[in-house]
Amino acid sequence: MCGIIGVFNNKLQKVVSNSEILKAADTMTHRGPDDRTSFISKDQRFGVGYRRLSIIDVDGGRQPLLSSDGSLCVNVNGEIYNHLELRQELESRGHIYQTNSDSEAVLHGYEEWGLDLLGKLKGMYAFSIYDSNQGVGGKGRLILARDKLGIKPLYYSITSEGITYASEIKAILKFSDISREPDMIAVSQYLTMSATPAPRTMFAGINKLPPGHMAIADLNGEIEIREYWSVLDNRIDLSEASEEEIVEQISESLTSSIRRRLMTDVPFGVFLSGGVDSSLNLALMSQMVNKPIDTFSVAIENDDASNENKHARYVANQFGANHNEVSVTNEQFTGFLTDMAYYQDEPLADPVCVPLYYLSALAKSNGCTVVHVGEGADELFAGYGNYALMNDFHRSLYAPFKGLPYSVKNLVLQTAALILPESKVEYINRATSNQELFWGGAVVFSENSKQHVMNEYIDQHVYSNVIEPYYKEYYSKFDKSSFLDRAINIDLKHRLPELLLMRVDKMSMAASIEARVPFLDEELVELANSIPSSLKYKNGITKYILRKMARKYLPETVVYRKKNGFCGGTTNMIGDSVTRYAEKTLKESKWITDIMNQYEIKKIFEMHKRGKISKGSEIWSLLNLALWHKVWIEGESI
């Protein structure tokens, strides 16, 4: 795991400075505290800096990796889990390895297969390849790639002088030709979707590469963004498989995934909540390891809704794990928020970031550099209660109402607006406009509410510009599908990579540890997306087929325990101390005062403090926005 920063200039008179590269790399020391290197090409048009967290081939796996003739320079952030299989094949074709690092598979794989390499890699990665012999007139080209599911981030900025890219935005901002200006379209999208959808970021002029995409840049200043893998194109035929056979396939696939992710030369552990996903991680791992596994859990002090420690302890005891816990005080929670904005780079409207950081710090303090986490299981196997509620609502009410004449729907909408709360009216509004019900699992401000809360509402409709294209792509490949299938696809496109996985990457890396995601192994994802939705939500049971598989390894009390969000959710985490902190921060932010309606913000806080309706999501979203602007635009970065 590491942080990479690179510059590829298309103007000969603009040379890459090694000192600038290293200063930018040092903004990501937390991503790679173990090593610091750089490389500048002979013509000084390309340069790359690298911060390393040593995990595989600790002594010999330094980067960048250069080809034997010096024409290629490769930098990789992440892990290539099938590197040994690739190495065997590549060495049989005559390639000579310099190290035992998994990253070297990218170097020799590109030499052998070119861009087809991307279809062969299995892992989590963001990497760059500088090829001085390719491109227009053989003058050089740059390839950037982000892994298939978006576990690792990769950002880039295109200017008149070339392209700058990095694992984190803060490294890009170190360069003088990169401005710090808010992208107000991204702000509007963030307020609805809790994170900025790719390819935008909150910074005007800085983009992020979408999952499963590559970028190819040449010295003419041209850049092509190309999709190389889509979950929609990779399914298997399960039409003849019985329920029991599918259970067995899930078991085999998850077991293989966890075994692959034990590839490490440093201590490892498991983030354990006691829920079915993290418990499966521990249960299967314990069959492969002949010593007690380190497990870690977190709770917020004096907050029962966040505390799953007794469940985590129970599961840890079942498998003889070495269990560790941390409790986050209110002072620690609010005390981390400015730092959080720094590590996030752009706001992520999920308060889980705070306990996740302290959980990561706990693992680091106990000597663990690698941890397994349970992200992805709820999306792939329909584990959220909201999926079930919306699925039932869609079938019984939404779809029939959507099919009524517009005049009838509009009359109902006008009446509802007078008597129902805004959250209910929003669904009627969607049906009246013939829109899809599900916009994602973390929707905060609707377009209507943004018109009230933003002083200068930007007519950048999230549905038509972000959500609807996802649905159109899905329908173009599957004309017959279930509501659950479509909902899962929406979350795989945005919420999972840009919110959930981004928070894991940013907060674990802030503590200098690597988080691995067994449920997002490509083979398991392809299997899960091929399973009929009727086996994911069945007999009123969410995550039905995964729970059935889990019964082979876990007590039924664990398998069927009611799902609890990590540390609860915004309702309990946005308590009195955080609410006071947020209120003060928003009042002191001139930018928020300029762009937001203070009367509407005051109403949000009053409703939340009365306790009848939780406005924790709205408060946290606005607080993150204010902190981001304070740290990154006003320049109060730590």
Residue 456 pLDDT: 82
Question: pLDDT value at position 179?
Answer: 82
Q: What torsion, rounded to 10 degrees, do the Cα atoms 198, 202, 206, 209 define?
A: -20
Whether residue 32 is contained in a domain is answered as yes
Express each pLDDT in 368-380 by its tens digit.
Answer: 999 999 999 999 9
Average pLDDT over residues 52-73: 87
Q: Please give the backbone phi and psi of residue 487, each rounded to the nearest 5 degrees, phi first.
A: -65, -45
- Tokens found for residue 228: 């190389």
pLDDT at 362 over 50: yes
431 inside domain: no
Q: Please, what's the b/e burial string for 116-146 (b: 16 or more CB within 10 A of its CB; e: otherwise)?
A: ebbeebbbbbbbbbbbbebbeeeebbbbbbb
The C-alpha atoms of residue 229 and residue 225 are separated, in whole angstroms, by 13
Q: At which of 181, 210, 229 does a domain end?
A: 229
Q: Residue 135's beta-bridge partner residues?
A: none
Q: What is the mean pLDDT of residues 382-392?
A: 94
Residue 558 lies in a domain: yes
Q: What is the largest CA-CA distance in the chain?
A: 74
Phi, psi at 281, each rounded to 5°: -55, -50
Cis omega (within 30 of 0) for bond into 211: no
Q: Using CA atoms, how far apart are residues 480 and 474, in angstroms rounded to an integer?
A: 10
Q: Which SS3 state, helix, strand or coil, does residue 218 take?
A: strand
Which structural domain, as residue segments, surrounds residue 306?
237-384+441-638
CA distance 414 to 432: 11
Q: Where is 605: in which H helix or E strand? A: helix 598-610
- Mean pLDDT in residue range 335-345: 97
Distances (CA, A) of 283 to 503, 553, 558, 566: 25, 6, 12, 19
pLDDT tens for each residue of 568-613? 778 889 999 999 999 999 999 999 999 999 999 999 999 999 987 8
Mean pLDDT of all residues belonging to the chain: 93
Structure tokens at 217: 């840049």
User: Under a CB-based contact definition with an 8 Å cutoff, are residues 99 and 61 in contact?
Assistant: yes
Cα–Cα nearest to 164, from 316, 5, 18, 275: 5
H or E element: which one contains 209?
none
Q: What is the pLDDT of residues 197-249, one digit of tens each?
A: 999 999 999 999 999 999 999 877 788 999 999 989 988 999 899 999 999 99
Identify the H or E element spanning 627. Answer: helix 616-628
Q: How big is the CA angle at 335 (ends 329 and 338), to the nearest 5 degrees?
A: 145
Residue 139: its H or E element? none
> Are 608 and 631 part of one and the same domain?
yes
CATH number of the structural domain spanning residue 631: 3.40.50.620
Q: Which residue has the tokens 């994911």?
A: 536
Is the pLDDT at 194 greater than 50, yes or no? yes
Residue 13 DSSP class: T
d(CA 357, CA 374): 16
**According to the model, what pLDDT value does residue 304 have?**
79
DSSP H helices in 366-463: 377-381, 385-393, 399-402, 406-419, 422-432, 447-453, 462
360 Ramachandran zone, left/alpha/beta (phi>0; psi -120 to 50): alpha
- In the DSSP assignment, the letter for residue 242 is -
Kindly state whether residues 457 and 593 are assigned to the same domain.
yes
Q: Which of 212, 229, 246 is the C-terminal boundary of a domain?
A: 229
Number of helices and strands in the chain (H, E): 29, 17
Distance CA 88, CA 94 (A): 10
State the Rg of the chain over Cα: 24
Examine the domain organization and report whether 25 and 79 are in the same domain.
yes
The answer on 255 and 165 residing in a single domain is no
Burial class (CB in 10 A: 0-12, 13-18, 19+), 176: exposed
State the pLDDT at residue 638. Answer: 47
What residue has token string 């007590």? 555
Higher pLDDT, 184 or 459: 184
Residues 247 and 208 occupy one common structural domain: no
> Is residue 430 in a domain?
no
In a domain, 107, yes or no: yes
Judgement on whether residues 249 and 344 belong to the same structural domain of the protein? yes
SS3 500: helix
Say yes or no: 82 and 36 in one domain. Answer: yes
CA angle at 308 for the pair 307 and 312, rounded to the nearest 5°? 145
Predicted local confidence at residue 137, as pLDDT: 55
The structural domain count of the chain equals: 2
Cis peptide leading into residue 199 (ω within 30°):
yes
Helix 576-588 / helix 616-628 crossing angle, nearest 10 deg: 40
Are both 12 and 118 inside the same structural domain?
yes
175, two tokens: 């360069």
CATH for 27 = 3.60.20.10
Q: Distance (Å, rounded) from C-alpha 409 to C-alpha 80? A: 52
Selection from 274, 251, 483 nearest residue 382 by Cα = 483
Using left for φ > 0, alpha for ψ between -120 and 50, and beta otherwise, residue 386 falls in alpha
C-alpha to C-alpha distances, 35 to 22, 25, 106, 174, nearest whole angstrom: 12, 11, 20, 20
Residue pair 356/504 in contact by the 8 Å Cβ criterion: yes
Residues 371, 270 contacting (CB under 8 angstroms): yes
User: What percent of the chain stands above pLDDT 90?
Assistant: 82
Look at residue 13 in the predicted model and tell me its pLDDT: 60
- Mean pLDDT, rounded, for 268-273: 96
* Burial category of 543 from C-beta neighbours within 10 Å (exposed 0-12, middle 13-18, buried 19 and up): buried
Backbone angles phi, psi at 202, to 5 degrees: -70, -10
The answer on 489 and 344 residing in a single domain is yes
Q: Is residue 594 part of a domain?
A: yes
Look at phi and psi of residue 254 and say left if phi exceeds 0, alpha if psi is from -120 to 50, else beta. Answer: alpha
Do 326 and 298 form a contact (C-beta atoms < 8 A)? Answer: yes
The answer to whether 178 touches 166, Cβ cutoff 8 Å, is no
- The residues near 357 (Cβ < 8 Å, ≥ 6 apart) are 336, 340, 343, 507, 510, 511
pTM value?
0.95
Asked whether residue 67 falls in the same domain as residue 149, the answer is yes
| Judgement on whether residues 97 and 190 belong to the same structural domain of the protein | yes
Is residue 581 in some structural domain? Answer: yes
Please check whether residues 287 and 173 belong to one and the same domain: no
Confidence class for position 328, pLDDT limits 50, 70, 90: very high
Among 203, 229, 255, residue at a domain's last position: 229
- pLDDT at residue 299, rounded to an integer: 94
Q: What is the tens place of the pLDDT at every residue in 495-536?
A: 999 999 999 999 999 999 999 999 999 999 999 999 999 999
Question: Running DSSP on this structure, what letter comes out for residue 201?
Answer: -
Q: Kindly state whether residue 544 falls inside one of the protein's structural domains.
A: yes
Q: Give the Cα separation of 127 and 140 in Å (integer).
A: 17
At position 173, the amino acid (one-letter code) is L
d(CA 113, CA 91): 14
pLDDT computed for residue 302 by the predictor: 84
- Does 152 or 177 have the greater pLDDT score? 152
Task: Report the DSSP pairing between strands 268-271 and 370-372.
Answer: parallel
